[in-house]
Structure 1
Amino acid sequence: MKYLAIVGTNSDVSTNRMLLQFMQKHFAGEAEIELYEIKDLPAFMEPEDSEVPEKVAELSDKILKADGVIMATPEYDHAIPAVLKSALEWISYTTQALTDKPVLIVGASHGTLGSSRAQAHLRQILDSPELAARIMPSSEFLLGKSQGAFDNGGNLIYTDKLSELDEIFREFVLFTDITVKLLEKKTLSKKEKKYTWQE
């Protein structure tokens, strides 16, 4: 499996980035995980012409080529960061590259709740008609007290959380495989979608 792991923050120091970096290393024998930073994407605004910004096109291309997407989100005021919302708005408004794409949501926070409300918020957004991602059901990976969760080598040291992450990732690989097979058997072809500005 090839997965694109999206770092859902523009912070230079983030335990969500550390979580994805650990997953990339820890699951290297099971999947190829590429980390992607969204902090360099332009803030979303309706373009005056039909040109998709280069960085947005790059992200869309990587999503389309991946078997699935892993998103790590922190929690700001019970919601996802503005930079992640902006990135998703670009995808929704332009390429809709997340349509039918298997997605696993994970999150880390300094508090005890592990970004639970932000993850619920992200699920709502990804389920919207113009994104329509295939979100793995009944799955939450909530890493609380994340400032103490990693050693100097970037390894996750909470043994209970490591076991939980192993199980969730195995399920996601299976979910990805099942989703791909399901979509191959779809008899209804997707209608050609136009960008909002083309309608």
Structure 2
Amino acid sequence: MKNFLAILGTNSDHSTNRLLLQFMQRHFVEQANIEIFEIKNIPAFNKPEVKQAPHEVQKLTDKMREADGVIISSPEYNHSVPAILKSTLEWVSYTNQALVDKPVMLTGASYGKLGSSRAQSHLRQILDSPELKARIMPSSEFLIGYSLQAFDDNGQLKDQAKIEELEQIFKDFIQFVEITNQLVNASDSHQKKATNFSWETH
């Protein structure tokens, strides 16, 4: 069984993205172990003189390295991701590049009609940067619009069609993780480049 780390991409105490990840955790319990990680305690990135990660960042990156794959669920703020998610990814890229070659699945729930489509597009660009170089699952996005009405009182998704869509994407992600990790194990060139990467020389 695969072990996935699910990152809640917001510091909100009342996020429908948390509901989405909790639903996935329950719904796919027979297929994968999904651990949800809250980033609300991670400090704002400030580019320290020494590339030493704060405790919460180190805790996150250790879990990233141990996981078979990473799921990121983010709302959309001003056509992009929340500042705390971008800041968290800046910590990862500056300190130890734990997402290099890591299979990543993107999901998102937002209050508006379009869900988090523009935020996911922006997030793909960020994750594809030289400092992160994650392996984002292609040709897939799971979006929940009008997310305040999407869950019942028990945290269950109401729309059966959305559940079936999520089931297919999750099945694809498991296959993507297997293929990606086979390729990565065959070549560690990206990991070597990441180890030597420096913001100051790019």
Pick the TM interval, shorter chain.
over 0.9
CA RMSD, Structure 1 to Structure 2 (Å) = 1.7
Sort the Cα spacing of 1:45 and 1:25 in 2 relative to 1 into closer, same or farther, 3 A. same
- For 1:125, the equivalent position in structure 2 comes to 126
CA distance in 2, matches of 1:159, 1:52: 42
Give the TM-score taking structure 2 as reference length.
0.94
Identity between Structure 1 and Structure 2 (%): 57
Q: How does 1:167-182 map to 2 (within 5 A)?
A: 167-182=168-183
1:76-115 matches, cutoff 5 A: 76-115=77-116
Q: Using the alignment, how far apart are the partners of 1:141 and 1:175 within structure 2? A: 15
Which runs of 5 or more structure 1 residues have no equivalent in the other structure?
none
Q: Does the aligned pair in 1 maintain the 2:81–2:119 contact within 8 Å? A: yes
**Whole-angstrom distance in 2 between the partners of 1:13 and 1:142:** 18
Alignment-mate amino acid for residue 91 of structure 2: W
Task: Give yes or no for the alignment of 1:11 onto 2:12.
Answer: yes
- What is the aligned partner in structure 2 of residue 70 from structure 1? 71
Contact 2:127 2:136 in 1 (8 A): yes
Task: Confirm or deny: 8 A CA contact 1:106 1:141 kept in the other structure.
Answer: yes
| Partners of 1:189 and 1:37 in 2: CA distance | 28
For residues 189 and 146 of structure 1, the distance between their equivalents in structure 2, rounded to whole angstroms, comes to: 37
- What is the Cα deviation at residue 112 of structure 1? 1.1
Matching residue of 1:156: 157
Separation (CA, whole Å) in 2 of partners of 1:189 and 1:2: 22
Give the counterpart letter for 1:181 in structure 2: Q
Q: Which amino acid aligns with 1:22?
A: F
Deviation at 1:150, TM superposition (A): 0.8
Preserved contact between residue 108 and residue 144 of structure 1 (Cα < 8 Å): yes
Structure 2: runs of 5+ lacking an equivalent: none
Number of residue pairs matched by the alignment: 199
Match of 1:5, SS? strand
